[in-house]
Chains A and B, each alone.
Chain A
Amino acid sequence: MHTETVSERIHNGEREAFNELFYTHWQSLVSYSGLIIGDNTDAQDVVQTVFLNLWTDRSRLRPDTNIDAWLMRSVYNRSLNRLRSNMVRHRYNSWYSAQINRELSVCYDPDRNDVIARLFGEESRQAVDEAISSLPEKCREVFILRYCESLSAKETADRLGLSVSTVNNQVFKALGLLREKLGYLKAALLFMSIYFFD
């Protein structure tokens, strides 16, 4: 029976613990990196490198290291670096959306913004899914089509037999409710202690 923490197990070279960490965190970390960089292929590259370094440097892990926080911070830093070099090459983005990404990037620091930690951290997936399913029915339908499945406002309106302005109103309503629900989580979260590598 494992009484050791994930951190300890990885420190001891347990590939299984490492692999499991990878499986559970991959999607949300790729989403997080994609948020900062604006590109999902690069995001995958970033997250791979972060995990690789975690394994390579595992001897520096302590039993009480907060792996979640370490992963997010590492992804944040690496994504910022990637963003800067992407910026200069103007790869897929227009000049303006590249500047917008740059302006927004400071708001995604996981240590300064606990909304980020909640949206992309370990508990996030379930919390977000629950928050969405608890929306009022019509509101939820509109939100899922428009936001999650990326239909245009017009397509959403056509699909559900609504007007475009109704669609927009329902989306605003959903966003307001989601912010409230995910904010509530804040009260329930235990204090996360963050340990830095030397």
Chain B
Amino acid sequence: MNDDLLISYLAGECSQEQEKQILEWIREDEANRRHLAELSALWHAVRRPEEGEAMSSLLSGFAGVDSRINLQEARKGSLRKWLSCAAGIAAVLVGGILLAGHFLGKGQAAPSDSYVWFNPDSSAMQITLPDKSQVWLGSNTSLSYCSGESGRTASLKGEAFFDVAKDPSKAFIVKTSDLRIKVYGTRFNVRSIPSETYSEVSLVEGSVSLADNSERNIIFLTPGQQAKYVAEEDYLQVSEVPADNILLVRYGVESLKDMTLQEIVSALSLSFGRELRISSCADVNERYTVNYPKDASLEDVIWTVEVLSGSRIEIVNQDNK
């Protein structure tokens, strides 16, 4: 391990393979971890935003705090007015105003409405869209997303798997060079690679409609169907291809969707060949979705599940080290 690789990591220039190497390296030895921690701390401490950016960050940060304090103070002011009224009515209203005054709310300025991602790695990259949809980008793939009155639009070049958050009021449209794919909440894969003559759409769950560039409808797909489309020849081929394991096969991601904690633990037990025990569980009936890279360690996946569910899970029958 050399410092140059570590600095590349800090600069965001590492591939996922290299990040994996670094993760293993810091776990080998406490001294390694402290070394990277120190480099990282120094990195963040010396990097100063440009003068203008620093100023605007300070001003908007301060504006956020200032306005919320003023809001709190104003509400306390009206609280005093109410207290001077008849005691019975005031008692009921005090409760309501106190609650309102302590609700801090989240965020300050609205986030910008359009986003772009690019995955240059040979391994998949997972992203979460602002509407909570999950997308995995294949190698050499770019995706842009924006959300507006007419719906949510994602433009794709390459291959990606979508797990779209349900929103009946806002259609989700994926645009590629040849197709418009419209969905409302569903799981599907889209492949539109410039060097390939055909586009391919595979549906796992839900339903999608495909249209061409001039918005002319081509077909509706049902789960388990895969469409291959060649725009120049207006050629469409639909076949029954079970797509349930596309996430695993093409993206190296294991996906446990909508499972209770017990179901998740059983699946992990089976996959990793280790016995697991739930030592505490917040809610037996709650369902969760867990996605992890197939070469992740069991300990890391368990940690993710514990954080997600507020439970504690033990690995039983550990080998002696």
Contacts and interface: CB of A to CB of B under 8 A. Distances in A.
A55 B69 contact: yes
A67 interface: no
Interface string A76-103: 0000000011011111101111011011
Interface in B121-165: 125-128
A143 to B, nearest CB: 8
Q: Which of A44, A84, A87, A152 has the most CB of B within 10 A?
A: A44
B19 A96 contact: yes
A188 to B, nearest CB: 18
Contacts, number: 145
Contacts of B46: 128, 132, 147-148
A172 B4 CA distance: 9
A104 B58 contact: no
A115 interface: yes
B127 A92 contact: yes
A109 B40 CA distance: 14
A interface secondary structure, majority: helix
Interface string B233-254: 0000000000000000000000
A59 interface: no
Interface string A126-139: 00100010000000
Contacts of A27: 48-49, 54, 57-58
Contacts of A89: 128
Contacts of B96: none
A30 B61 contact: yes
Interface residues of B, number: 59
A194 interface: no
B interface secondary structure, majority: helix
A95 B11 CA distance: 17
Nearest to A36: B44
A51 B304 CA distance: 30
A172 B3 CA distance: 8
A190 B46 CA distance: 23
A84 B307 contact: yes
A26 interface: yes
B33 A103 contact: yes
Interface of B: 3-4, 7-9, 11, 13, 16, 19-20, 22-23, 26-27, 33-34, 36-49, 54, 57-58, 61-62, 64-66, 68-69, 72, 104, 106-108, 111, 125-128, 291-293, 296, 300, 303-304, 307-308
21 contacts: A22-B62, A22-B65, A26-B61, A27-B49, A28-B45, A31-B47, A51-B65, A55-B65, A55-B69, A90-B127, A90-B128, A91-B128, A94-B126, A95-B16, A100-B19, A100-B26, A100-B36, A103-B27, A108-B37, A128-B46, A179-B42
Given A27-B58, A116-B41, A150-B11, 7 more contacts: A34-B44, A35-B44, A100-B22, A107-B41, A124-B45, A147-B42, A171-B7
